[in-house]
Amino acid sequence: MLALCHSVRLDYRPGGRHAIAPMHTRKGFFMKPSTARVAEANAPAVEHYKAMRAAVLDMSVADRTLCEIVVTAQLALLGHEGPFKLHAKRLFELGVSRQQLEQVVIAGLGVTLVIPQVAQVLDWIQQASDQIE
């Protein structure tokens, strides 16, 4: 099970469909996944978004892992904790170790990330790893 935006659990199956169920946030209330909230306002837009993401990520497992690493690093840089953890868990499912992901983040230190950001993201990695185990 994977967390999505602090609010739902996602049963991730590489190359397959995902099952979403609500989950408590840290504040104790339920939130909808981003796509569900946007779909309430414009369902066709979300369907097109999902089709675009599926087309972009239609590749071999090795290439998918590399793309997941890039996406996860970008989410770290942007400070998006929930989506970062979701993608970190996907990386763990694809065989990337916690230590490898930590090194990817640390590689950005002094280039695109400052040390407090790296420390925060390392905590997110630990939390995501703990949720998988």
Per-residue pLDDT tens digits for 111-129: 999 999 999 999 999 999 9
Question: What value does the mean pLDDT take over residues 98-102?
Answer: 98
Confidence bin at 95 (pLDDT 50/70/90): very high
- Per the CB < 8 A criterion, the answer to whether 1 and 85 are in contact is no
Q: How much is the pLDDT for 62?
A: 80
Q: Which of 23-32, 73-82, 90-99, 106-115 has the lowest mean pLDDT?
A: 23-32
Residue 3 has pLDDT above 80, yes or no: no
What burial letters (b/e) apply to 40-49, b meaning 16+ CB within 10 Å?
Answer: eeeeeebeee
Q: How much is the pLDDT for 24?
A: 42
Looking at residue 93, which CATH number applies to its domain?
1.20.1290.10
Give the count of domains, the chain. Answer: 1
**Residue-wise pLDDT tens digits, 5-59:** 333 333 434 444 443 334 444 554 455 678 889 999 999 999 999 999 889 888 8
- Per the CB < 8 A criterion, the answer to whether 14 and 61 are in contact is yes
Range of the domain at 115: 2-132
Q: How much is the pLDDT for 133?
A: 76
Distances (CA, A) of 129 to 6, 42, 91, 122: 14, 34, 10, 10
Residue type, 85: K
Could you tell me how far CA 24 lies from the centroid of its own chain? 17
Q: How much is the pLDDT for 5?
A: 35
Q: Is 95 left (phi over 0), alpha (psi -120 to 50) or beta?
A: left
